[in-house]
A and B are shown apart, each in its own frame.
Chain A
């Protein structure tokens, strides 16, 4: 029995995945059913002053972080008259000029302390600290009645909930024989978790055709696969990618330059993978908190408060930098040391998601992301098919 046959044999629970695109092309679809969301979490707290430096604060920047600012100040990619992008982000810069990217500065998740791990949980739950282990993205998936995909070995908190999330991650081991999978399906008949995971695993391996990724785990390749999987499976409207390594307590200039380049390449590959679905895609890039405004004693920065988020994608009405700027003068810093948050990132994420998927107030309430919507238009007006 081939893997594909195993899938058929397993029955109806994964209909959507087994029949890519056939349904989509024959049945009329609601315009919002084509909309895609890619949620990218940067774990470790990205320093927004290095990512989206405020060039109009040159004097403060030189004072607070002489080495870090000097490392990029004459190479940055300009955005508006105030802000610029780190030089390793040409793709994002290009999108910004195409009006497909919107950085939002001085935002935070509402989390006020400085623990990475607590802050990431907080971020993934939707900006609050409820102890039940489910994520805001899982609730969105339920509201729009979609399937979801995490490019990860196991489900991150964002996508934990009572729906069936798919996990895909490339493997570097030789493939097992197909007969084995059939026998395992029998073996797992009384173990719902294992049988469900196995079915998903087989289905996803079938679809990517990308199982043997050369350098396993590199972000651009994962992003490309993510885009392809979404492209081939219209039922997967929501997906999640994660990228770590942002906790730059030392040697920040060198480390961030490599990391941001990987992020930028990844975004580029994601777009390639998504193909013509890019136009219906909203990408949200977020990190758990920001870092200290001043550099520390080891050419890095310590844990802080406000950072930034990035909205991007063909669906985005971009080309401007949003968010109120609190200023970097000592009296403007949060607790005398961090960039001060002027807005909650979930105001912006909520607004973008509500506009993108055209969600009602009741639907938005279900997401439990709590923050009120802004009246800024973040998404291009939806074209009704």
Chain B
């Protein structure tokens, strides 16, 4: 039973053989999976992506001037390649617990790919920054995310100019979008204790945080543009911050990362994600305590969650998000290299398209966000479509995926199905597989 839980509650569903591997010591199996996810270097890194976009812009300008043919858009294709790469990695992964954490943090720091440029930048935030820091210190993760071109663009900071800075000119000025969401969504939460003045002060401190489009380095593409920075001392949440250039906002972000409200807000989200829509306070408190002892060591906090007996209580269960459902289906059915279209169209129809969340809050994480009748119908239709490629009896798959947690009712339904396609669809749509 608990090897099923290890692979489903904490991982992305069992691949063949994983239930057996996890059986002896499910907790140890989960912890052994905490290995940083490494993406292939074949696709552009953050710096390369920024460079590509800058070159493309230059070429386009040149072509316009010379009235020659414009260069062809490459962003959409590259976006598809990033997504395909991510899904194949997740489906084949031997460390799906780490993939789950990567997903959790990518949604926590949600960015949307609504413009061609963002289609290129958004995936690099996950590939280069979140994957590198999501088992490290929260403070490092927060700083690296906030300095990444995807976040700086998505929440408008690249356009924000200090009204009294050297770059100040008519019609351009402050934009407080990033400052607000950093506090409300990324750190202390909406009730974490801040006023409108704190938003404005942080926004001013963040002016000048921008992208180095000319010569990005291997470490990224962050550039502090002092000429756009609002000069002066800032008063932020009761403390004074002298004008120390880039350090001013960095210090503010560090203070947010260390705030107890941040530990509470994020541990609540983490326990809600892994254990129950209503996060059990005992587990949340244990995580918060560990967070404070370790200064926000995310690996240590997650291990505390995994080691808490309450996290393994079978009475808790979570309805899978569409992405969890899709990835666990491919893993279970051993469809390791699915066509991009099967993944993308399915997730779009189920309302969970990658990098298309409606707001910077990211996608919802409770059952009611995903269990509507239209969403269920899409899951059925999608399951029916992907199982066209299944040739074997689903009974075998059921054992690999769900072990002895599969119900007699489901087994009977699968056995009586009129085709292997129908049997596999029933397996994917069974209550045991819809919840984790």
Please list the residues of chain A having a beta carbon within 8 angstroms of any beta carbon in chain B.
43-44, 66-67, 113-118, 133, 150, 152-155, 160, 166-177, 179-181, 183-184, 186-191, 193-194, 196-202, 204-205, 216, 244-245, 247, 249-250, 296-300, 302-303, 335
Q: Which residue of A lies closest to B374 (CB)?
A: A169
Chain B residues with Cβ under 8 A from A170's Cβ?
A: 374
Q: Which residue of A lies closest to B277 (CB)?
A: A133
Interface residue stretch chosen among B128-136, B247-255, B344-352: B344-352
Contact with A155, one of B172, B174, B368 (Cβ below 8 angstroms): B368
Q: Which residue of A lies closest to B350 (CB)?
A: A153
Instruction: Assess A187 versus B371: contact at CB under 8 Å? Given A43-B359, A115-B184, A302-B175.
Output: no
- Which residues 144-158 in B have Cβ within 8 Å of A in the complex? 156
B contact residues, range: 35 or more
Q: Which residue of B lies closest to A198 (CB)?
A: B376
Interface pair A171/B196, CB less than 8 Å apart: no
Interface pair A152/B381, CB less than 8 Å apart: no
Task: Give complex CA distance A198, B185 in Å.
Answer: 34
Chain A residues with Cβ under 8 A from B160's Cβ?
A: 297-298
The answer, yes or no, to whether B214 is at the interface (CB within 8 Å) is no
Interface pair B361/A117, CB less than 8 Å apart: yes
Please list the residues of chain B having a beta carbon within 8 angstroms of any beta carbon in chain A.
156, 159-161, 163, 171-177, 180, 184-185, 190, 196, 199, 345-346, 348-351, 358-359, 361, 368-378, 380-382, 384-385, 409-410, 413, 416-418, 422, 425-426, 429-431, 434
Chain B residues with Cβ under 8 A from A250's Cβ?
A: 156, 159, 175
Chain A residues with Cβ under 8 A from B429's Cβ?
A: 184, 187
Task: Give complex CA distance A95, B369 in Å.
Answer: 35
Instruction: Assess A187 versus B430: contact at CB under 8 Å? Given A117-B361, A176-B381, A296-B174.
Output: yes
Q: Which residue of A lies closest to B345 (CB)?
A: A172
Interface pair B374/A114, CB less than 8 Å apart: no
Contact with A114, one of B171, B175, B196 (Cβ below 8 angstroms): B196
- Shortest Cβ distance from residue A135 to the other chain B in the assembled complex, whole angstroms: 11
Interface pair B426/A193, CB less than 8 Å apart: no
Q: At the interface, is chain A mostly helix, strand, loop or mixed? A: loop
Most buried by B among A67, A201, A303: A201
Task: Give complex CA distance A245, B114 in Å.
Answer: 11
- Shortest Cβ distance from residue B106 to the other chain A in the assembled complex, whole angstroms: 18
Instruction: Assess A200 versus B373: contact at CB under 8 Å? Given A155-B368, A250-B175.
Output: yes
Interface pair B384/A176, CB less than 8 Å apart: yes
10 tightest A-B CB contacts, nearest first: A297-B173, A154-B372, A167-B372, A169-B374, A200-B373, A201-B373, A201-B377, A173-B381, A176-B384, A153-B375
Task: Give complex CA distance A160, B371 in Å.
Answer: 12
A-B contact count (CB 8 A): 172
Task: Give complex CA distance A187, B21 in Å.
Answer: 30
Chain A residues with Cβ under 8 A from B370's Cβ?
A: 153-154
Chain A residues with Cβ under 8 A from B416's Cβ?
A: 183
Most buried by A among B160, B172, B380, B431: B380
Interface pair B359/A298, CB less than 8 Å apart: no
Given A167-B375, A170-B374, A177-B384, 9 further pairs, Cβ under 8 A: A114-B199, A115-B184, A117-B190, A153-B375, A169-B374, A176-B381, A187-B429, A297-B172, A300-B156
Interface pair A190/B409, CB less than 8 Å apart: yes
Chain B residues with Cβ under 8 A from A152's Cβ?
A: 372, 374
Contact with B417, one of A67, A166, A183, A297 (Cβ below 8 angstroms): A183
Most buried by B among A168, A199, A297: A297
Interface pair B381/A171, CB less than 8 Å apart: yes
Interface pair B174/A172, CB less than 8 Å apart: no
Interface pair B175/A298, CB less than 8 Å apart: yes
Task: Give complex CA distance A196, B159 in Å.
Answer: 48
Instruction: Assess A168 versus B373: contact at CB under 8 Å? Given A154-B368, A302-B176.
Output: yes
Chain B residues with Cβ under 8 A from A172's Cβ?
A: 345, 348-349
Contact with B373, one of A118, A173, A197 (Cβ below 8 angstroms): A197
Task: Give complex CA distance A119, B275 in Å.
Answer: 27
Q: Which residue of A lies closest to B416 (CB)?
A: A183
Chain A residues with Cβ under 8 A from B345's Cβ?
A: 172-173
- Between A and B, 21 residue pairs with Cβ closer than 8 Å are A44-B358, A66-B171, A152-B372, A154-B374, A167-B373, A169-B375, A171-B349, A172-B349, A183-B417, A184-B429, A186-B413, A194-B376, A198-B377, A199-B373, A202-B377, A249-B156, A297-B160, A297-B175, A298-B156, A300-B156, A302-B176
Task: Give complex CA distance A297, B359 in Å.
Answer: 21
Chain A residues with Cβ under 8 A from B373's Cβ?
A: 166-168, 196-201, 204
